[in-house]
């Protein structure tokens, strides 16, 4: 049906084009807190375009694994975007158990990013990869438990039906659980997307980086792809949280898209506020934060016991 | 017909190593004859097994008289046995091809023929026990397999360390067999005959005894924590193709036994499934935690076998729970996931061991922190290891993901529509499985990065050379199979359904198909899309990079903050990568740090080493054994060392027995 095809196309274009705007909103929010004007909203798009036209430098230590890292990261991020529901509408691809497929697709991207980091043979990238590996171990159970709480509350195993039209009804029955799950998922978002207080995306000190230092040796089009993939990954997490917190489903299609875009940008503003008001945690305290996220998810599930 | 083919294959495999004993040790003819016989055996048994998978033949198969009292040569190939048979012969065959170049007779004149003899015997014994339907035939196959495996592990028995791990394996397997003897005796008491089939009542305490004895006995073979103590040493010190067969098939015999014995009970009590599930989760998490702390590449892979056996047990436990509660979807998803993981683990673990063996063959060391940058000189081995590593972490689009997804969906079904405490348990089990997956990713990035990527840390790593085609071809076959099952998961669905129907014949009609419960079709499509998108983006990036005028390739060193003299020792080692995770698990791992490193303001040259011993073996069993030995020291006076004293003891015992019996 023409209507459905154009909906699918609009959704695909939304997933591919919208995410870098989130990065721009975060930067503007941080600038507002600091009393600056800040970079334009569309700056990430200009950055990606600039990087795609540059040339590259490859170290003699690296192999094809180093070049494959950004490719896998972007490809898995795009497919994860196809699996996530936006607003109240179903994802491009939806089936039972799709949320675990999403988690494992992102894990595949993480595997190759870490491998590409170790390929450089430098202590900086190795350090970032070691930290990333450790923190991911703690973030994964929090993510799975949180999504399972959503599954139990909605009685379905597909993200699209979990976050679909039954959301307002589920809120009346399991609201307390959802508050805990939303907080836990927000902490997982901060951890997986290298935001303060887990990681500082703007630091210049390699010793304090996690994600930034893993991609330190990439340049040119590869770095552009990494930036783009990171924005899509941020969008995936933010879309889930936005729909969980704001399950509004207006009637007309355009209003629905508008609500979806605004709610995702609202999540970006919240991220910007968190980044401006908090400092990065000491590295040894980050596991405690992630364990707290696991506990929040666990209690979110326990609250669903009748 | 299937049974005759399989029995023929068993016979050919058993005698495959025998002609080599009569041929001069310097000649390479023996190994070629052994490979030819093993190929024929694989072909015969493979045809039989595949025919049984496609269309299972009715009971009872083959039944011949056997002079052992109570024994009968009863053999039947149902879908469940056929799944394990395929794995036995496929991995043995590929290992034998690998062994042609890895353990060339010309390079190992002293133990090559012994290795090939017992390699064939162990293959035959495993195939026999998988199709046996009589308790004595099963035990015969089990014992021959255990002893042949001991002789394979101690192939290089001139090395003291190899002998020690052989003794630990032997002790563990004797205790396991003892438990199995007791289990079969209890089964005889329940059944009245020595046949291996159900249905039996699961609620009696005798049935509970059967389950416990069987669980301990099979756990000692399968390597479920804390019964895994023999695994790390044995897999590390055996020749690599033997390790591949052991890890891929031998430990699955424990799983086969567990699955077969539990299939006799149509309504098992709830605690059976609970025990298997609990031990599965513990093995999974602790297995991978121990693996993270290792720096010997084959020991690390052995601990990952413990982890994956844990994942298989999670699936089997879920199936048992489903059988107790009468939830057929849990039975299908749990057992299908567990059995598919048996296949998948055999494939990717054998692939990993073969590529680790290739690295060992080329560099002469198993120590991860002496390697590095090996991908540049061994590209095919490195690619094979990468495929194996991605598969074992359960990442799409490879096969590990499909089996883990089946188990996940089973746990999700139990979470969403369960009641009481079951759904909480399955929710936390799913979180445990996610933790296992993330830890596995951490561990394999560590291994792959430290061994194959970066700069070489020693001369042996720099001067490695790629292996012979006889070693890389089996790796290529296994890697292709991993990709095939990952992308074509729909094709394995019917096979798994038949195996599940063979396990639960009473439910056979009511069991839903695995493909309808789990999104196998969607996974296949998604996998293909992923590959297409990867190729597209990769090709675009490659073209873009080449087109840019000023791209510089391979002429500069990695940027190191302007440091002018980077060395390979500045890289992260495997221990530094794993340090935070080992610290998190230090309550279980108990890492040991040897004499301290640099001290003082002007430190002298010193040494530093850290390693993670096996807590159960080195922390509990060996000290416990030594304490028992010390406690019984007071009895040492009896062991005078004098032959006369021992003859006196025999005489005294005889006299006492005669008096005792004479008096009755």
pLDDT more than 90, % of chain B: 68
Please provide the DSSP assignment of B172-216 as one string: HHHHHHHHHHHHHHHHHHHHSSSB------SSSHHHHHHHHHHHH
C-alpha of B125 from chain center:
17
ipTM over 0.90: yes
Q: Do B449 and A93 touch (CB under 8 A)?
A: no
* Distance (Å, whole) CA A214 – CA A123: 10
Measured between beta carbons, the chain A residues lying within 8 angstroms of B526 are 79, 93, 101
- Position with higher pLDDT, B551 vs A52: A52
Measured between beta carbons, the chain B residues lying within 8 angstroms of A65 are 375, 386, 453
pLDDT reported for residue A254:
85
Strands (DSSP E) contained in B460-525 are: none
Q: Do A130 and B580 touch (CB under 8 A)?
A: yes
- Position with higher pLDDT, B566 vs A106: A106
User: Residues 276-295, chain A: which have Cβ within 8 Å of B?
Assistant: 287, 294
pLDDT above 60: residue A74: yes
Q: Which residue of A has its CA nearest to B556?
A: A59
Q: What is the mean pLDDT of residues B160-181?
A: 95
Judged by a CB distance cut-off of 8 A, whether residue A103 touches chain B is yes
Determine how β-strand B552-556 pairs with β-strand A57-59: parallel
pLDDT above 60: residue B144: yes
* CA-based nearest residue to B582, from B286, B298, B236: B286
Under the phi-then-psi rule, with left for phi > 0, alpha for psi from -120 to 50, and beta for the rest, what region is B283? alpha
Measured between beta carbons, the chain B residues lying within 8 angstroms of A288 are none
Q: Do B434 and A119 touch (CB under 8 A)?
A: no
pLDDT reported for residue B25:
80
Q: Mutating which of A97, A181, A285, A289 best tests the B interface, going by the most B Cβ atoms within 10 A?
A: A97
Across the interface, of B453, B522, B578, the residue whose CB is closest to A95 is B522
Q: Tokens standing for B37?
A: 């016989």
Give, as one character, the DSSP assignment of residue A211: H
pLDDT, tens digit, 9 for 90 and up, residues B368-381: 999 999 999 999 99
Across the interface, of A60, A107, A137, the residue whose CB is closest to B554 is A60
Q: What is the mean pLDDT of residues B391-400?
A: 95
Q: Do B557 and A59 touch (CB under 8 A)?
A: yes
Q: Tokens standing for B346?
A: 């055999």
Judged by a CB distance cut-off of 8 A, whether residue A166 touches chain B is no
pLDDT reported for residue B664:
66
- pTM recorded for the entire structure: 0.94
Q: Mutating which of A12, A59, A61 best tests the B interface, going by the most B Cβ atoms within 10 A?
A: A61
Q: How many CB pairs under 8 A join A and B?
A: 250
* Alpha carbon distances (Å) from A7 to A90, A159, A253, A254, B416: 11, 18, 9, 11, 31
* Distance (Å, whole) CA B34 – CA B100: 10
A3 pLDDT band, cuts 50/70/90, is: low
The length of chain B in residues reads 664
Q: Mutating which of B433, B436, B514, B558 best tests the A interface, going by the most A Cβ atoms within 10 A?
A: B558
Handedness of CA B581, A215, A285, A297 (dihedral sign): negative
- Position with higher pLDDT, B108 vs A269: A269
Across the interface, of A122, A137, A152, the residue whose CB is closest to B560 is A122
| 3-class secondary structure, B354 | helix
Strands (DSSP E) contained in chain A are: 57-59
Please provide the DSSP assignment of B304-319 as one string: HHHHHHHHHHHHHHHH
* Distance (Å, whole) CA B88 – CA B480: 18
Q: Tokens standing for B222?
A: 């399968």
* Distance (Å, whole) CA A151 – CA A160: 11
- The residues, any chain, with a CB within 8 Å of residue A227's CB and separated by 6 or more, are A20, A44, A47, A48, A51
Q: Do A137 and B581 touch (CB under 8 A)?
A: yes
pLDDT above 90: residue B271: yes
B529 CB neighbour count, 10 Å cutoff: 16
User: Highest mean pLDDT: which of B63-67, B104-108, B449-453?
Assistant: B449-453
B552 pLDDT band, cuts 50/70/90, is: confident
Q: Which residue of B has its CA nearest to A291?
A: B584
Q: Do B445 and A133 touch (CB under 8 A)?
A: yes
pLDDT above 70: residue A1: no
Supply φ then ψ for residue B552, to 5 degrees. Answer: -110, 125
Q: What is the mean pLDDT of residues A19-38?
A: 95
Point out which residues pair with B195 in neighbouring strands: B134
Measured between beta carbons, the chain A residues lying within 8 angstroms of B457 are none
Q: What is the mean pLDDT of residues B385-404?
A: 96
pLDDT reported for residue B565:
76
Buried b (16+ CB within 10 A) or exposed e, B338-375: bbbbbbbbbbbbbbbbbbbbbbbbbbebbebbbbbbbb
Point out which residues pair with B63 in neighbouring strands: B74
Q: What is the mean pLDDT of residues A61-78?
A: 95
pLDDT reported for residue A157:
92
Which residue has 């994860």 as its token pair? A80
pLDDT above 60: residue A2: no
pLDDT, tens digit, 9 for 90 and up, residues B608-630: 788 899 989 988 999 999 999 99
B260 pLDDT band, cuts 50/70/90, is: very high
Q: Do B556 and A57 touch (CB under 8 A)?
A: yes
Instruction: Identify the weakest region by mean pLDDT among A80-94, B65-79, B350-364.
Output: B65-79
Judged by a CB distance cut-off of 8 A, whether residue A219 touches chain B is no
- Rounded to a whole number of angstroms, the distance from the CA of A35 to the nearest CA of chain B is 32
Q: Which residue of A has its CA nearest to B534?
A: A75
Q: Tokens standing for B59?
A: 């009971």
Q: pLDDT averaged over chain A?
A: 92
CB of B92 closer than 8 Å to CB of B42: yes
A305 pLDDT band, cuts 50/70/90, is: confident
Measured between beta carbons, the chain B residues lying within 8 angstroms of A74 are 537
pLDDT, tens digit, 9 for 90 and up, residues B534-543: 999 999 999 9
Give B61-127 as a 3 state SS string: CEEEECCCCCCEEEECCCHHHHHHHHHHHHHHHHHHHHHHHHCCCCCCCCCHHHHHHHHHHHHHHHH
pLDDT reported for residue B549:
72
Q: What is the mean pLDDT of residues A14-20?
A: 95
Q: Do B449 and A118 touch (CB under 8 A)?
A: yes
Q: What is the mean pLDDT of residues B198-220?
A: 91
pLDDT reported for residue A69:
96
Q: Do A75 and B530 touch (CB under 8 A)?
A: yes
pLDDT reported for residue B60:
66
pLDDT, tens digit, 9 for 90 and up, residues B31-44: 899 999 999 999 99
* CA-based nearest residue to A81, from A17, A16, A20, A140: A16
Judged by a CB distance cut-off of 8 A, whether residue A225 touches chain B is yes
Give, as one character, the DSSP assignment of residue B501: H
pLDDT more than 70, % of chain B: 99
pLDDT more than 90, % of chain A: 73
pLDDT reported for residue B150:
96
pLDDT, tens digit, 9 for 90 and up, residues B69-78: 878 888 999 8
Judged by a CB distance cut-off of 8 A, whether residue A301 touches chain B is yes
- Rounded to a whole number of angstroms, the distance from the CA of A37 to the nearest CA of chain B is 31
Measured between beta carbons, the chain B residues lying within 8 angstroms of A287 are 580, 584
Measured between beta carbons, the chain B residues lying within 8 angstroms of A57 are 551-552, 556
Across the interface, of A60, A61, A78, the residue whose CB is closest to B533 is A78
C-alpha of A283 from chain center:
21
Q: Mutating which of A54, A62, A130, A305 best tests the B interface, going by the most B Cβ atoms within 10 A?
A: A130
pLDDT above 70: residue B59: no
CA-atom Rg of chain A in angstroms? 19
User: Residues 245-274, chain A: which have Cβ within 8 Å of B?
Assistant: none
pLDDT reported for residue A73:
97
* Distance (Å, whole) CA A305 – CA B425: 12
Supply φ then ψ for residue B329, to 5 degrees. Answer: -65, -35
* Distance (Å, whole) CA B464 – CA A238: 47
pLDDT above 90: residue B64: no
Give, as one character, the DSSP assignment of residue B400: H
Measured between beta carbons, the chain A residues lying within 8 angstroms of B454 are 61, 118-121, 126
A164 pLDDT band, cuts 50/70/90, is: confident
* CA-based nearest residue to B412, from A155, A243, A160: A155
Give, as one character, the DSSP assignment of residue B513: P
Q: Do B408 and A97 touch (CB under 8 A)?
A: yes
* CA-based nearest residue to B366, from B454, B297, B443, B466: B297
Q: pLDDT averaged over chain B?
A: 91
Judged by a CB distance cut-off of 8 A, whether residue A104 touches chain B is yes
Q: Which residue of A has its CA nearest to B585?
A: A134
Judged by a CB distance cut-off of 8 A, whether residue A155 touches chain B is yes
* Distance (Å, whole) CA B368 – CA A1: 58
CB of B130 closer than 8 Å to CB of B84: yes
- The residues, any chain, with a CB within 8 Å of residue B173's CB and separated by 6 or more, are B146, B149, B150, B220, B221, B230
């Amino acid at each position: 049906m023409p209507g459905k095809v154009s909906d699918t196309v609009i959704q695909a274009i939304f997933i591919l084009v919208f995410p870098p705007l989130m990065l721009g909103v975060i930067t503007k929010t941080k600038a507002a807190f600091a009393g600056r004007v800040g970079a334009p909203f569309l700056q990430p798009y200009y950055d990606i375009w600039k990087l795609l036209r540059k040339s590259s430098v490859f170290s003699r230590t690296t192999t094809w694994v180093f070049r494959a890292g950004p490719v896998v990261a972007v490809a898995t991020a795009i497919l994860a975007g196809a699996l996530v529901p936006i607003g109240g509408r179903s994802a491009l691809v939806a089936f039972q158990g799709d949320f675990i497929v999403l988690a494992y697709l992102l894990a595949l991207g993480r595997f190759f990013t870490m491998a590409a980091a170790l390929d450089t043979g430098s202590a900086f990238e190795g350090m970032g990869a070691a930290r990333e590996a450790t923190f991911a171990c703690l973030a994964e159970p929090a993510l799975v438990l949180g999504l399972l709480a959503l599954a139990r509350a909605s009685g379905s195993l597909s993200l699209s039906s979990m976050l679909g039209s039954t959301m307002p009804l589920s809120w009346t029955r399991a609201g307390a659980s959802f508050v805990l799950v939303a907080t836990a998922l927000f902490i997982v978002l901060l951890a997986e997307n290298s935001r303060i207080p887990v990681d500082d995306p703007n630091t210049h000190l390699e010793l304090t980086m996690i994600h930034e230092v893993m991609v330190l040796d990439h340049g040119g089009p590869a770095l552009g792809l990494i930036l783009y993939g990171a924005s899509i990954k941020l969008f995936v997490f933010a879309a889930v949280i936005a729909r969980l917190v704001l399950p509004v489903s207006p009637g007309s299609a355009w209003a629905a898209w508008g609500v979806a875009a605004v709610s995702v940008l609202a999540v970006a503003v919240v991220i910007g506020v968190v980044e401006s008001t908090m400092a990065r945690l000491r590295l040894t305290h980050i596991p405690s934060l992630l364990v707290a996220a696991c506990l929040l998810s666990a209690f979110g599930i326990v609250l669903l016991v009748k | 017909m299937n049974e005759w083919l399989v029995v023929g294959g068993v016979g050919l495999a058993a005698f495959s190593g025998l002609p080599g004993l009569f041929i001069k040790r310097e000649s390479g003819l023996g190994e070629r004859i052994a490979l030819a016989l093993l190929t024929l055996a694989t072909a015969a048994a493979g045809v039989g097994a595949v025919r049984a998978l496609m269309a299972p033949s009715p009971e009872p198969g083959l039944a011949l008289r056997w002079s052992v009292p109570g024994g009968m040569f009863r053999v039947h190939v149902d879908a469940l046995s056929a799944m394990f048979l395929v794995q036995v012969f496929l991995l043995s065959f590929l290992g034998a091809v690998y062994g042609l170049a890895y353990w060339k007779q010309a390079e190992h004149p002293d133990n090559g023929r012994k290795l090939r003899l017992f390699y064939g015997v162990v293959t035959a014994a495993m195939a026999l026990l998988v199709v046996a339907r009589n308790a004595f035939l099963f035990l015969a196959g089990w014992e021959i397999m255990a002893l042949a495996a001991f002789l394979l592990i101690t192939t290089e028995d001139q090395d003291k360390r190899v002998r020690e791990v052989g003794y630990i394996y032997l002790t563990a397997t004797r205790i396991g067999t003892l438990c199995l003897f007791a289990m079969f005796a209890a089964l005889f008491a329940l059944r009245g005959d020595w046949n291996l089939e159900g249905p039996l009542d699961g609620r009696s305490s005798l049935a509970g005894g059967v389950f416990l004895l069987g669980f301990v006995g099979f756990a000692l073979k399968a390597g479920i924590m804390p019964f895994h103590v023999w695994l790390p040493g044995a897999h590390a010190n055996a020749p690599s193709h033997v390790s591949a067969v052991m890890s891929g098939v031998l430990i699955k015999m424990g799983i086969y036994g567990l699955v077969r014995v539990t299939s006799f009970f149509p309504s098992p009590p709830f605690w059976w499934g609970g025990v298997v599930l609990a031990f599965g989760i513990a093995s999974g998490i602790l297995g991978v935690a121990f693996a993270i702390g290792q720096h010997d590449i084959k020991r690390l892979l052995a601990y990952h076998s413990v982890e994956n056996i844990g994942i298989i047990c999670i699936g089997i436990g879920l199936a048992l729970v489903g059988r107790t509660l009468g939830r057929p979807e849990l039975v299908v998803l749990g057992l299908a996931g567990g059995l598919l993981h048996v296949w998948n683990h055999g494939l990717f673990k054998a692939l990993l061991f073969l590529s680790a063996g290739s690295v060992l063959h080329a560099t002469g060391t198993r120590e991860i922190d002496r390697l590095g940058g090996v991908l540049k000189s061994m590209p095919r081995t490195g690619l094979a290891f990468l495929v194996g590593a991605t598969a074992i972490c359960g990442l799409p689009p490879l096969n590990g993901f499909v089996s883990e997804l089946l188990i996940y969906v089973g746990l999700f079904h139990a979470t969403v529509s369960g009641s009481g405490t079951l759904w909480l348990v399955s929710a936390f089990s799913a979180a445990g499985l996610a933790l296992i997956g993330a830890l596995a990713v951490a561990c394999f990035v560590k291994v792959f990065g430290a061994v194959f990527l970066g700069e070489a840390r020693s001369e042996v790593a720099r001067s490695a050379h790629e292996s012979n085609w006889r070693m890389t071809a089996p790796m290529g076959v296994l890697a292709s199979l991993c990709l095939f099952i990952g992308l074509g998961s729909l094709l394995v669905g019917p096979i798994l359904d038949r195996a599940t129907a063979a396990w639960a014949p009473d439910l056979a009609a009511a069991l839903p198909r695995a493909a309808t419960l789990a999104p196998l079709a969607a996974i296949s499509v998604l996998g293909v899309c992923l590959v297409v998108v990867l190729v597209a983006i990769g090709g675009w990036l490659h073209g873009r990079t080449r087109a840019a005028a000023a791209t510089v390739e391979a002429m500069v060193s990695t940027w190191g903050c302007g440091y002018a003299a980077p060395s390979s020792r500045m890289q992260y080692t495997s221990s530094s990568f794993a340090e935070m995770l080992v610290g998190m698990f230090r309550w279980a791992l108990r890492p040991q740090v040897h004499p301290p490193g640099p001290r003082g303001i002007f430190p002298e040259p010193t040494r530093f080493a850290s390693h993670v011993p096996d807590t159960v073996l080195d922390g509990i069993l060996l000290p416990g054994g030594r304490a028992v030995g010390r406690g019984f020291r007071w009895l040492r006076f009896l062991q005078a060392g004098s032959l006369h004293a021992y003859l006196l003891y025999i005489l005294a015992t005889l006299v006492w027995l005669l008096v005792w019996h004479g008096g009755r």
